[in-house]
Structure 1
């Protein structure tokens, strides 16, 4: 595990993007695991800038998103389909058929999970998985529980998760109650995992996840078992760590 703290948001974003850029420069057909939410926005902005400068291409790459809300129309501004188009896909040369996001509006969500899992199996292994961290320790939408599901599955979102995401909607009633998420097993199969955590409100949970007992009630704690985990923290999130300074 390599934990690095950054003095500024800009430095963190640039470093996170740098890992993706280096990967695509050395392996143009890399398989990328992509996250949504506020955490990776700045990283995607830097990737778009680098693409416009000709420093990288996504043309041969493949991407898989971690999750998608169930029942939220694709065109809804808070769907992860819309998010990815806004922040990355519409601005780079990643072919549409190589960018995979679970279909939250599938007639049979369980069948959609099986379809998505089969696509992941075809790709064999994600080269780089980008992760954020939920306030309750979830990764993707793998919520705390007595057991965790290894494969892609439908999950009922915890109340605290829905409350945390309510800021993106007009009201709590509009926040979806379920999502399709990549399972912890697939996440942990990635060659490299890049965990990005920002803010003092995440300082306690990231410290417990990376230094405390490994348990399914804190899904991110399973990241301790990964052989190539890179953790990037801002100063506020790193307050309980003594870490390498970037």
Structure 2
């Protein structure tokens, strides 16, 4: 796991966006896994500037990491709408190439299976963008989730629902109780996992993910098992890491050929 510590959220976005841009330059038809929430927003904004400066994303496809179950199609806080606003339109992606789980489907379990199959049919995700919850979740894989799980329905924890209430006018009763999420097994199949985090509120989760034991009660710790994972955090989110000297040495001595 490569840990990159930078001064602030804007720098997190710049570093992560450049990693994504490097991939797209090498592979114009790259498949991205895109996450929602506040953590990846600086990344998308920085990537937007690269697109405006000539980065060609016309061949890029994207698969959203998760979606609420039970929100109506077109609901402004559905992740389909968030991805449309923050990713598809911001980056100028082809909407036909951007996929989101169907949380409004009549048969949700079948929708999960179809989504997993669509990822496989696309050749898998080349680069998966991730945030991390304050309880260590990635996607909506909450503590105690299977480390081998695939795309499926999950029940959201009270902590996650409280954290997300800010997107629903702080009305907890409006926050869905269930979601569709790519499983940790699905995430581990990606070519590169790129996790971004900022703020002191993420410090405990970041430390547990990077330096704690691998276990289901910190789902993000499974990234220690990923063949290629990069974690970009600001100073506040890195404040509880103990191995900073090594992380900074790796950051400052990155080979030019390494993605």
Normalised TM-score (structure 1):
0.95
Rate the CA distance shift 1:112–1:214 in 2: closer, same or farther, 3 A: same
Q: Conserved in 1, the CA contact under 8 Å of 2:6 and 2:12?
A: yes
Rate the CA distance shift 1:107–1:53 in 2: closer, same or farther, 3 A: same
| In structure 2, distance between residues paired with 1:114 and 1:197 | 30
Alignment of 1:143-182 (within 5 A): 143-145=142-144, 147-148=146-147, 150-170=149-169, 171-182=171-182
Q: Conserved in 2, the CA contact under 8 Å of 1:57 and 1:92?
A: no
User: How far did residue 127 of structure 1 move?
Assistant: 0.8
Q: Conserved in 2, the CA contact under 8 Å of 1:57 and 1:93?
A: no
Alignment of 1:109-124 (within 5 A): 109-124=108-123
What SS is found at the alignment partner of 2:73?
Answer: coil
- Residue equivalent to 2:8: 8
Q: CA RMSD in A?
A: 1.4
- Residue equivalent to 1:141: 140
Q: Conserved in 2, the CA contact under 8 Å of 1:78 and 1:168?
A: yes
Give the number of equivalent residue pairs: 245
| In structure 2, distance between residues paired with 1:92 and 1:208 | 33
- Residue equivalent to 1:192: 192
User: How far did residue 212 of structure 1 move?
Assistant: 1.2
Normalised TM-score (structure 2):
0.91
Q: Conserved in 2, the CA contact under 8 Å of 1:210 and 1:221?
A: yes
Q: Conserved in 1, the CA contact under 8 Å of 2:131 and 2:195?
A: yes
Structure 2 segments unaligned to the other structure (5+ residues): 253-259
What SS is found at the alignment partner of 1:130?
Answer: strand
| In structure 2, distance between residues paired with 1:25 and 1:14 | 16
User: How far did residue 149 of structure 1 move?
Assistant: 5.4
Alignment of 1:100-111 (within 5 A): 100-111=99-110
User: How far did residue 147 of structure 1 move?
Assistant: 3.6
Q: Conserved in 2, the CA contact under 8 Å of 1:45 and 1:88?
A: no
Rate the CA distance shift 1:147–1:188 in 2: closer, same or farther, 3 A: closer
Q: Conserved in 1, the CA contact under 8 Å of 2:148 and 2:183?
A: yes
User: How far did residue 148 of structure 1 move?
Assistant: 4.5
Q: Conserved in 1, the CA contact under 8 Å of 2:134 and 2:204?
A: no
Q: Conserved in 1, the CA contact under 8 Å of 2:151 and 2:181?
A: yes
| In structure 1, distance between residues paired with 2:144 and 2:186 | 18
User: How far did residue 76 of structure 1 move?
Assistant: 1.7
| In structure 1, distance between residues paired with 2:221 and 2:140 | 14
User: How far did residue 90 of structure 1 move?
Assistant: 1.4
1:50 aligns with 2:46: no
- Residue equivalent to 1:219: 219
- Residue equivalent to 1:129: 128
| In structure 1, distance between residues paired with 2:34 and 2:47 | 13
| In structure 2, distance between residues paired with 1:148 and 1:15 | 28
| In structure 1, distance between residues paired with 2:176 and 2:192 | 30
Rate the CA distance shift 1:179–1:146 in 2: closer, same or farther, 3 A: closer
Q: Conserved in 2, the CA contact under 8 Å of 1:12 and 1:233?
A: yes
